Structure 1
Amino acid sequence: MARAVLDDPFYYLANFTFVLDWLSARYDDVLRPDERAFIQDFAHWPTPSQALFVRMAMRKGDHFRLEKLAYEEIGDSRAALAPLLASPWVTDAAPLDIRALARLLSKDDVAALARRAGLPVKAKALMVEALAVHYEGIEQPIHAWHVLDDEVISLTCTALLERFRLMFFGNLRQTWSEFVLAELGINQFEPVELSGSARPFQQAEDIDLYMALSALRDRLEEGEAPRDLLADVPALPENNAWLEARRDRLLYALGRQAERGRDTETARVAFKHSGALDARMRRIRLLEKSHPEDAWALCEAALKAIESEAEAQQLARVRPRLARKLGYAPVEAIAAPTVSWITLSLAKTSQVELGVAEALATPTAPVHYVENALFTTLFGLLCWEAIFAPVPGAFFHPFHRGPADLYRPGFVARRAQVFERALARLEDGTYRTHILETLKAKAGRQSPFVVWGLSRDILEQALDCIPAAHLRALFTRLLKDLKANRAGFPDLIQFDLERQSYRLIEVKGPGDRLQDNQKRWLGEFERHAMPVVACQVVWDDACEATS
């Protein structure tokens, strides 16, 4: 199953055929009858017909004017259409509502419709809205609208193509453009050996459930009430951690939207049934306002099975407050991390971090604005082999930016030996060479951790100035919770090139305060005696007045 190259005028057809062959090889036991029928029909169409279908499938929307379906490599589009129109997958008689019709029309065409309906001529979008009200509920083929002297060709299998895309990528974020971007070299991917049976879904029902969850997310984003959507959230079969995580995130999103809409009851129910990391704390905060006893009981249960550092931090804030409200014995609050503060007066600027970097830098002690990029990049380069280890269920197509199980429980455990080999380089002194060699060998390849915009000079300064023991401590904490701990690093880092030392600098502009994830990292720096300061910026009114 060789993929196409862009020199081939039918490159897009070769790529689509690659996908169908891929799905046939891996999903033979899962394909539905209509999916099998499409694959068989497609294989029997002449090349021009196949190419025209794929051209339409790759474009936005379901409806296309025939005169716009003109492609040099295909030739006569009308002739290429004949086998397609004889199939159930394409039609020239699809009913169109006014919105679908308007997407095919020019402003003048829409204005003609408006005048016919007795509506004023305005901007196209305004006319479409007025026409949608005027023709509400009306759907009819193009010829019945008497507005366009052209045929309209429509796909009738968009949902089927979406399922194919989901089966191939394992998500609906990625599109067929991945093929072209990879061929152009815009996106480069780490080659990982894939087994012939590698696939994200094990049964047709998994695909159905994923599509149902995705449709509910779309309805939420379109403004449908969380209360109405909650009843439609499907139950899941046991032992499907991947779909369960998606359902948990959907329920969490429903709860957050219900909170914003002051629908507290819906929010409580959604959070109760969501296993998302912050759902329990959201529920506790809701109960704190109206049912403090229930909130306390939930806090006590949470203490026995804390899910994350973030939850422990939030519980330590909520419990003393609840104890006071309920008249219970005082609960001691945890001490905030110790951090040294410096104050810097600057002329007012929109890039406060860059202003601080410029003010503190010296010729032998440069300051770089790196925020969350530096340490994750060093980690990603050192642990590249572990991150892209061909673990079953981690990779199932050629376009992975990272393993599919990256943020799922057990990710590190399944690769424990490979990660430990990588971290051992920090003990034996080979880490610097390994990181720089990986930087060169993997340049530009997609990675969930490496930020390629960081210069080699910054990385070399970091490797020269940051002790290996500090990197080991940072990477060990990263591995405890890759999703949460990849953020919260200080904004700036200063390297003393003469002494080969460093310090981290967290910048806070006027009115800013330390965030929870920053406090957690500051606590880690304190435990390992890592040099860090927080810089409070105040605006220099005199500089502003004279500027």
Structure 2
Amino acid sequence: MPPELYYLSNFHKGLDWLVERSADLLDDAERAFIERFSGLAQASQALLVRMIMRKGPHFRASKLTYPEIGCPREAAAPLLDSGWLDTRAGLSLAELFEQLRKDELARHLPAARPHGRLKKNELLDLLAAQHPAPRPFTEWCPALDDPLYSLTVGALCERLRLMFFGNLRQDWSEFVLADLGIFRYECVEIGPESRGFRHREDLDTYLAIQCCRDDWEAGQPLQEVLAALRGLDCQNPYLARRRDKVLFRIAQQLERDAELEHALELYGECRYPDARQRRVRVLERLNRPTEAHALALEAQRDPENQAELQLIERALARLDRQLGLGKRVRPVETPVARLDLTLPARGECVELAVARHLSTADAPVHYVENSLVCSLFGLLCWEAIFAPVPGAFFHPFHSGPTDLYSADFRSRRTEVFARCLQRLDDGAYRSHLRQVYAAKQGIQSPFVHWGALDETLLDLALRCIPAAHIKAWCLRLLDDLRANRAGMPDLIQFWPAEGRYRMIEVKGPGDRLQDNQRRWLAFCAEHGMPVEVCYVQWATA
């Protein structure tokens, strides 16, 4: 196939992958589409794929000019015969305005001619009431010799894309980006059993959840959206998480709108992270402290993560006072060293100002924030993160495993993680990290920040940070990958001649520590890691 038809070649690869691995998920219409598509002339195939990949569903023939395809009308004829394109689809006035320039509106829409000075959006508002019913493009513009093709297989092709990627976030451009080397992905052995959906019903449920989310965001009646969500069978854990996330987002909006009883009900229905903590907060706002206190104690006994525990302990302190239960004894935290600086204001961000101020030739300072610790973890545990666990990878364009934030992510890879972390105990980690850094340079990873991690920074980290500290960071990340991958100190300073380092969290005037930052600082202090909080004031003239 000619190189200029790269997009068509990639689409064929996707269809072949689906036929080979997901044939049992295809319905009759999808099978018929794949079979008939392969029998079309190349120009017709290419035109359809171009339209599938563009924003549609309506396309004027004059806007479908591609040298490798030739005449769009000739290429469209077999697609019209197949029913995959339609020239008689009804267009609303708003859709018509999207297809016509302002001068064309004046020529083909008589009602628009007296209002030539109005902007298109103003003209649309003015004429909307006069043209409430949709009409085919040929009836809107009978004198315009420029057919409008409406794609009728868009929903079918969306399902095929969902089957291939397991989500609607990625699209067929992934092939192009990979071919051009813009994105590079780890080569993971993908078995025939690895795919995003096991059953056709799972595919339909995914689309139904997405439809509920879209309807809610579009302002559809909430009771209708909730009824649809509640009626879905979500025994698949992945789908259950997606459904719970939509419920959680709706509950959040209800809470913001002060519809607290309804928000409380929805928070109670979903198992999304933070839902229990939000129930406590809503109960407090409803002035039901006894119920809030009981739920908070339950969460304290078995917190889902450190972030929840932190918020629950604050709630308990408030509720104890409110219920007259006395002052709660808080655990003593290891103090974190404080550094106060007054610096001249030069228009740069406060972190870079502190880095420049503290950095010397013998003790360089790097602005790393979350990138260094996450990158060290990603390099050290590369083989565990990209282990070919069944169902974790099911197409060639994964930047990380699909179960990355699942509760059993670590347990499904126990032996591999143990082997990775063992290198920190036997001293093999330095050479291993350097080898992985060189071999995997630029490959997509959920943890390695290639743009922030150069060889100089990696070498300084390996010379100055004790293996025990790196291991403690890795273990903390594994405890809760989603929550603990952020909140790390902004800066790190190295003394390579002495083999030591310190981390520095920077706070400018009026800024204060966030919860995840407090948790990281407390963790580092408890483990004897050198960490400071630097508070900056700008010098006045």
Q: TM-score, normalised by structure 2?
A: 0.95
- The alpha carbon displacement at 1:215 in A equals 2.1
Q: Which moved more, 1:145-154 or 1:197-206?
A: 145-154
Aligned mates of 1:67, 1:439 — CA distance in 2 = 49
Q: Secondary structure at the match of 1:395?
A: coil
Structure 2 residue 295 is matched with structure 1 residue 306: no
Are the aligned partners of 1:114 and 1:121 in contact in 2 as well (CA < 8 Å)?
Answer: no
Partner residue in 2 for 1:426: 424
Which residue of 2 is the match for residue 326 of structure 1?
A: 323
Q: Work out whether residues 193 and 391 of structure 2, in 8 Å CA contact, stay in contact via their aligned partners in 1.
A: no
Contact 2:193 2:390 in 1 (8 A): no
- 1:285-330 Cα deviation digits (max 9, x unpaired): 0101221111112112223321111111111111021011122243
**CA distance in 1: counterparts of 2:207 and 2:139, whole angstroms:** 34
Distance 1:337 1:131 in 2: 68
Q: Could you tell me how far 1:158 is from its partner in structure 2?
A: 1.1
State the match for 2:410 in structure 1. Answer: 412
Give, in whole Å, the separation in 1 of the partners of 2:194 and 2:349: 46
Match runs of 1:293-372 below 5 Å? 293-348=290-345, 349-372=347-370
CA distance, structure 2, for counterparts of residue 210 and residue 495 of structure 1: 49
Q: Which whole-Å CA distance do the structure 2 matches of 1:109 and 1:336 have between them?
A: 71
Root mean square deviation, CA, Å: 1.8
- 1: distance between equivalents of 2:15 and 2:171? 15
Output the CA distance in 2 between the equivalents of 1:234 and 1:12: 40
Evaluate the alpha carbon distance shift between residue 227 and residue 534 of structure 1 in structure 2; reply closer, same or farther with a 3 A threshold: farther
1:200-229: per-residue Cα shift (whole Å, max 9, x none)?
111111111111211222334445565663
In the TM superposition, 1:57-76 aligns within 5 A as: 57-76=52-71
Would you say how many aligned residue pairs link Structure 1 and Structure 2?
536
Identity percentage over the alignment?
49
- Could you say which residue in structure 1 is the equivalent of 2:396? 398
Q: Find the aligned partners of 1:133 and 1:339 in 2 and give their Cα distance.
A: 66
Residue 351 of structure 1 aligns with an amino acid whose one-letter code is C
| Match in the other structure for 1:95 | 90
SS at match of 1:103: helix
Residue 533 of structure 2 aligns to a residue in which SS? strand
Deviations 1:149-171 (A, max 9, x none): 31101101111111111111111
| Separation (CA, whole Å) in 2 of partners of 1:235 and 1:463 | 54
Partner of 2:490: 491
Question: In 2, are the aligned partners of 1:230 and 1:270 still within 8 Å (CA)?
Answer: no
Cα offset, 1:123, TM superposition: 2.1
- Residues 205 and 233 in structure 2, CA contact (< 8 A), matched pair in contact too: no
Give, in angstroms, the shift of residue 494 of structure 1. Answer: 0.5
1:357-409, Cα deviation, whole Å (9 max, x unpaired): 11111111111110000010011011111100000000000100100111111
Counterparts of 1:107 and 1:500, CA distance in 2:
69
Please say if residues 58 and 148 of structure 2, whose CA atoms lie closer than 8 Å, have aligned partners that are also in contact. yes
The amino acid that maps onto 2:262 is T
**Other-structure match for 1:478:** 477
Q: Is 2:109–2:140's contact at 8 Å kept on the other side of the alignment?
A: no
What's the counterpart of residue 124 of structure 1?
A: 120
Is 1:264–2:260 an aligned residue pair? yes
Q: Which amino acid aligns with 1:313?
A: Q
Call closer, same or farther: CA 1:72–1:400 in 2, change over 3 Å: same
Distance 1:246 1:468 in 2: 38
Q: 1:294 to 1:361 in 2, by over 3 A?
A: same
Measured after TM superposition, the shift of residue 99 of structure 1 is 2.0
Aligned mates of 1:470, 1:74 — CA distance in 2: 59
Query: Equivalent of 1:80, from 61, 75, 78?
Result: 75
C-alpha spacing 1:206/1:234, structure 2 compared with 1 (3 Å): farther
Residue pairs, 1:260-299, within 5 angstroms: 260-290=256-286, 291-299=288-296
> Relative to 1, partners in 2 of residues 1:434 and 1:64: Cα closer, same or farther, differing over 3 Å?
same
Does the CA-based 8 Å contact 2:62-2:146 persist in structure 1?
Answer: yes
Q: 1:102 to 1:337 in 2, by over 3 A?
A: farther
Whole-Å separation in 2 of the counterparts to 1:222 and 1:206: 24
Query: How far off its partner does 1:350 sit?
Result: 4.8
1:219 has 2:215 as partner: yes
- What is the TM-score normalised by the length of structure 1? 0.94
Kept in 1: contact 2:111–2:127 (CA 8 A): no
> 1:435-454: per-residue Cα shift (whole Å, max 9, x none)?
11111111111000000112
Could you tell me which runs of 5 or more consecutive residues in structure 1 were left unpaired when the two chains were aligned: 543-547
